[in-house]
Amino acid sequence: MKNSRNILKQKLLPLLSNLHIIIGRWAKRLIIAGVVLALVFVALYWGVGVCLAVIAGFFVIRFIIPFLIGLTLSIIIPLVGIILLIVLILSLILLGVS
């Protein structure tokens, strides 16, 4: 019984200690995939100009926010990606309804 607990700890603890890294990587991948999908939809629906404006706005916000808040880029970039994705989805919904 003791031996099986030790084996479980040896296999489970390294996975749990790296869980935040795994979640962070998958969160970044999902954010990037969502943003790319939304930008493709914007480019097809409204045109390339709107798509380029959204990309330019993203880079401006990405450049300015760390200086305003004082956070590191590793924290702020996923937050900006999530915020922009939410704003883009909401704007698509609102423009699609009206």
pTM of the predicted model as reported, rounded to 2 decimal places: 0.44
Buried b (16+ CB within 10 A) or exposed e, 47-63: eeeebeebeeebeeeee
Phi, psi of 86 (to 5 degrees): -65, -45
Cβ contact 50:42 at 8 Å: yes
For residue 15, what are its two tokens? 């996975």
63-92 per-position pLDDT tens digit: 776 666 665 656 666 777 777 777 777 777
Q: Name the band, by pLDDT with cuts 50, 70 and 90, for residue 34.
A: confident
